[in-house]
Amino acid sequence: METPNQTEPRTYQHPIADDWVWSYFFGLRQDADLAAHAAGGTLTPDAFTYVANAEELPSLRENVPALREAEVSELEQTLHDLDAAFARFAAGFAAYPPPHLPGTDPGRGPTTIAA
């Protein structure tokens, strides 16, 4: 089984905001998955999509001051990374994604990680 191509490392200019977005949407996805399993079912693959999550960003940026500092494109990329992490897990290429953005070190400036 081939593994998907790894992208170049990227720098998170606002690691606290990026980690917040990752953790928030990770938690929503995990809660929905647990609820589906408790009801005897499974979470459908299209239950959490990048597009649906990205539509929530404007509202979140209004209500969470730390998110206002980050560019929307940076937060959207974090959502893409989260979506890709779950896709790699579902395809059997990777372990279950961590509950925080891998490689970020909130409060210590930009951190370069491999996506």
pLDDT of residue 100: 78
Tokens of 75: 């937060």
Q: Which of 76, 32, 74, 81 is nearest to 53 (CA)?
A: 76
The pTM score is: 0.75
Residue 71 in this model has a pLDDT that exceeds 80: yes
What residues form DSSP beta bridges with 12?
111
pLDDT band with cut points at 50, 70 and 90 for residue 2: very low
Per the model's pLDDT, the better-predicted residue between 81 and 5 turns out to be 81
Q: Is the separation of the CB atoms in 79 and 53 below 8 Å?
A: yes
Mean pLDDT of the chain: 80
The span from the CA of 54 to the CA of 57, in Å, is 5
Question: For the chain, which residues make up each domain, given as ranges?
Answer: 25-105
Residue 91 in this model has a pLDDT that exceeds 50: yes
pLDDT band with cut points at 50, 70 and 90 for residue 102: low
Q: Is the separation of the CB atoms in 7 and 115 below 8 Å?
A: yes
